[in-house]
Amino acid sequence: MPLVDVDTLLQKAEEGGYAVGAFNCNNMEIVQAIVAAAEAEKSPVIIQASQGAIKYAGLEYIVALVETAANTASVPVALHLDHGTDFEQVVKCIGKGFTSVMIDGSKYPLEENIAITKKAVEIASVLGVSVEAELGKIGGTEDDVTVLEKDAMFTDPEEAKIFVEQTGVKSLAVAIGTAHGQYKGKPELDFPRLQKIKELTKIPLVLHGSSGVADEDLKKAIELGIRKINIDTNIREAFVQGVREVVAKYPNEIDPRKILGPARERMTEVVREKIRIFGSNGKA
Ligand code: G3H
Ligand code: 13P
Ligand code: ZN
């Protein structure tokens, strides 16, 4: 079926009390693995591309790959821009066929973040494209920040209320203790903060940096209102483990298909597992 928008998927997730997985892609094998997993689990799915993915694969290739995947799939697939940082790119992605964009104004002061998000919402909503925004700062696990600094980066619930009211944004990425990349220790999520943000905004919330978050914590976050869960690192790990295994076992292998095929299967398994944890299996 043709690509679907994200807001519709998240609205259904809101009603059904589950979350939809948003998985990062960088090449054909990753796109195929994600869609194969969604098909096997009869789940809606969001495939997203970061700035890095667009730079690596090219915008046209990303769109063509994901559109092809969606058109040949029996489950709903959305194409989302992950961490869009400037308005021009958001517009370009919408023009090329993305059905959802994130405008990440989290590095700006509140007023500026509100202004660019509002502008993105105005343009996107006319075209039926979904917009996700970020409030608070979701850093990387490599960022060397103290606990106090971390707390200052977290999303403020009252600010979130104002932000949502003033921008009209339909989904919001929250900073509640997760970070992008491989965790050194166990991530501690601020659940009371999440609960408060949900109470005050009442919109689908998004969890970034979700690879490495304990399954029980993901489930609790869903109970408290997380409806979109971003996973990249776990897919990268599965890909590389798959490649390493084949190369170690068959050092003379030179057929890329024999190396990437098993890696693709491993990624499918990881995505299937996540889909079941998020509770979106059987919801397509
Ligand atoms: O949000 C971060 C994602 O893991 C994308 O990472 O910019 O290296 O593609 P990337
Ligand atoms: P992880 O790489 O930590 O899974 O984070 C993915 C993400 O948040 C993409 O926006
Ligand atoms: Zn992210």
pLDDT digits (tens, 9 = 90+) for 20-56: 999 999 999 999 999 999 999 999 999 999 999 999 9
Q: What is the mean pLDDT of the segment spanning 82-100?
A: 96
Give me the CATH number covering residue 20. 3.20.20.70
Burial class (CB in 10 A: 0-12, 13-18, 19+), 15: exposed
Q: What pLDDT does residue 151 have?
A: 80
Q: What pLDDT does residue 173 have?
A: 98
Give the Å distances, CA to CA, from 100 to 77, 90, 95, 175, 265.
11, 9, 11, 20, 27
Ligand 1 atom nearest to CA at 53: 9
Residue 32 lies in a domain: yes
Q: Using 50, 70 and 90 to split pLDDT, how confident is the model at 135?
A: very high
The total domain count for the chain is 1
Of 53-62, 93-102, 144-153, 217-226, which gets the smallest average pLDDT?
144-153
Ligand 1 first shell, C-beta below 6 A:
24, 50-53, 82-83, 180, 232
Structural domain boundaries, residue 174: 6-278
Q: What pLDDT does residue 115 have?
A: 98
Q: What is the mean pLDDT of the segment spanning 88-96?
A: 96
Residue 12 lies in a domain: yes
* Per-chain mean pLDDT for the chain: 97
Centre of ligand 3 to C-alpha 139, Å, is 8
Q: What pLDDT does residue 229 have?
A: 99
Residue 245 lies in a domain: yes
Residue 39 lies in a domain: yes
Centre of ligand 2 to C-alpha 192, Å, is 22
Residue 1 lies in a domain: no
Centre of ligand 1 to C-alpha 50, Å, is 6
Paired tokens of 278: 């998020």
Ligand 2 atom nearest to CA at 82: 10
Residue 284 lies in a domain: no
Q: What is the mean pLDDT of the segment spanning 61-76?
A: 98
- For 155-173, write each residue's pLDDT tens digit: 999 999 999 999 999 999 9
Contact criterion met (CB below 8 Å) for 174 and 194? yes
Ligand nearest to the CA of 234: 2
Which residue among 25, 82, 240 is best mutated to probe the pocket of ligand 1, counting the most ligand atoms within 8 A of its Cβ? 82
Query: Minimal CA–CA distance to 154: which of 142, 141, 137?
Result: 137
Q: Is the pLDDT of residue 110 over 90?
A: yes
- For 229-282, write each residue's pLDDT tens digit: 999 999 999 999 999 999 999 999 999 999 999 999 999 999 999 999 999 999
Q: Using 50, 70 and 90 to split pLDDT, how confident is the model at 148?
A: confident
Ligand 2 first shell, C-beta below 6 A:
24, 82-83, 180-181, 208-211, 230-233
Residue 263 lies in a domain: yes
Residue 283 lies in a domain: no
Q: Using 50, 70 and 90 to split pLDDT, how confident is the model at 111?
A: very high
Q: What pLDDT does residue 42 have?
A: 98
Q: Is the pLDDT of residue 186 over 90?
A: yes
Residues annotated as catalytic (active site), given as ranges: 82
Query: Minimal CA–CA distance to 53: which of 82, 17, 75?
Result: 82
